[in-house]
A and B are shown apart, each in its own frame.
Chain A
């Protein structure tokens, strides 16, 4: 089993609030990713990191930001949440030989 954790699992928050979605992995992987998944849809990469102090934007434009200060931690922040940010956010880390491992996701609802 992969050891990658996301908190919270579910979050309902009002428009304009600042939120941080947490993601941690205990596998020592250098590469980490954030994917966004709308209901019934495919996943799209919004951020990735090759290691500490490395962050890049993914294929899908997102108003969120990320940081990578420690290898095991890759939080995602929305400065001012809007209803259009309502989605599921999945964090992953990868091992070169075994592929990517995913957390259980955070389902965000902005009201």
Chain B
């Protein structure tokens, strides 16, 4: 069985651009969460979606948005990229909210 898959694995963007990151959860998992991990820190919660509805949002600016599709896959969008948005973006899926399985992440570099 495939785990949580994220694409792309690496991405380089210029300041001011926008980016879309994608995540496919484990089959049967209806909850998808997004986390940002900057160097030297633990992952920080950005969004959680369950059954296509936003269930939680972390302390991130409105430049960050996300959505979940009918097949439970998800996209994270970041507009007007800043240098500080450079990080590893992790997607996690869960069946009932306690056992989170993470993907390998998308490494975003903003130059």
Q: Do A and B come from one complex?
A: no
Interface residues in chain B, defined as those with a beta carbon under 8 Å from any beta carbon in chain A: none
Interface residues in chain A, defined as those with a beta carbon under 8 Å from any beta carbon in chain B: none
